[in-house]
A and B are shown apart, each in its own frame.
Chain A
């Protein structure tokens, strides 16, 4: 059923004399339609996938056909974050900060093998195995790198996801402010503050074990 059919034959009873003069729809539909038709991606590339993203934005594949023509260099003005490329441990704090700075509603598209699961660098000392460990990802586009057409397919998938959402249930219209994701800390390794309780317990365990060993060795010496 096309959109016009749905507008002309709503479930709601319409008097006969007004049949062709009024259209009935839901707020959700209009709201989602306007939101998905003006998704502004963030101008933000990490690795080789970014080259394909640039190609997608250029005139041959032309993102503007989907209302995404303006890639905003500022997170404050963008709705969609395309994580295009290898997410290194050094870059994760910046990515999470950028995600926190985006105004809601916000979406994340993980582009390519590296961003989704670490790709060829999986379990590397410097690469995060999946950006979804830190920010919630809506659509994953596999490929190494995905071709512009594959990325466009992913972007259409984001639009389809938006179409299914309802103002009543989406997390950004609930009561109270939404919580920001704690920014990971880059030390000798990356530390996720959400796991600090677990880390603290583990550290305490290790410390008691170390003191026990020291006491034992001290007793042996005495």
Chain B
């Protein structure tokens, strides 16, 4: 029979419509008081149509969510910022749309490059949020941010981000990427233990040979 598909499709819409009211009664009022109700209703177990009232309430951002990259700096004991970036330029090379621009620092005395960026720019109008820079960085110095509220009225002055704008502390990274941060720290600790063992072994060997 013709038209059955249309009726079935309309049935789905009707089901969603009724489900949203049924769910509203089940969670009666809890939506506005508990975050748990909100998360269940907008998740896979939620039934019916559920609207996120954006500026007042927002979805939980998943850890692997990617937006514009940011640079990490370690906070020194006196509050100074120590950049993790060594201006090696790997991120600029792997960037598919080529939106990263790095300038190296040169030692004023010798004229040789120092592992620190003099300038670091990202054109966020070119960035395609792929996360290759964060993936390839050997020093974990660049990560993908979660901040998406960056609309502006002028692109020429606001959309080329410099190092000041991009830099964020490591604690921020630990806060938004807890799993990644724990894995990185574990890997670093293992690496350092290995190095120390190697050093100790070498020292022992030297002693024996003497």
How far apart are the CA atoms of A60 and B54 in the complex, in Å?
Answer: 10
Interface size class of A (residues with CB under 8 A): 20 to 34
Counting residue pairs across A and B whose Cβ atoms lie within 8 Å, the total is 96
Q: Known contacts A60-B52, A142-B125, A161-B153; can you find 18 more A-B pairs with CB under 8 A? A: A60-B50, A62-B51, A65-B53, A65-B54, A110-B155, A119-B126, A120-B96, A122-B97, A138-B153, A140-B151, A140-B152, A142-B68, A143-B67, A144-B127, A147-B148, A149-B59, A153-B55, A153-B151
User: Known contacts A142-B159, A146-B148; is A152 also within 8 Å of B125 by CB?
Assistant: no
Nearest opposing residue in chain A for B161, CB measure: A142
Q: Which residues of B contact A (CB under 8 A)?
A: 42, 49-55, 58-59, 67-68, 96-97, 123-129, 148-155, 158-159
Q: Which residues of A contact B (CB under 8 A)?
A: 59-62, 65, 110, 113, 116-120, 122, 130, 132, 137-144, 146-147, 149-150, 152-154, 156-157, 161
* A contact residues around B153 at 8 Å (CB): 138-140, 157, 161
Distance in Å: Cβ of B60 to nearest Cβ of chain A: 11
How far apart are the CA atoms of A140 and B159 in the complex, in Å?
Answer: 9
* B contact residues around A137 at 8 Å (CB): 155
* A contact residues around B55 at 8 Å (CB): 152-153, 156
Main secondary structure of the interface of B (DSSP, over half): loop
Q: Are B150's CB and A60's CB within 8 A?
A: no
* A contact residues around B154 at 8 Å (CB): 140
Q: Are B59's CB and A154's CB within 8 A?
A: no
User: Known contacts A59-B51, A139-B153, A140-B153; is A119 also within 8 Å of B128 by CB?
Assistant: yes
- Nearest 9 interchain pairs by C-beta: A117-B125, A154-B151, A120-B97, A150-B148, A144-B128, A59-B49, A116-B125, A141-B151, A142-B124
Q: Are A139's CB and B127's CB within 8 A?
A: no
Distance in Å: Cβ of B64 to nearest Cβ of chain A: 14
Q: Are A153's CB and B155's CB within 8 A?
A: no
Q: Are A153's CB and B128's CB within 8 A?
A: no
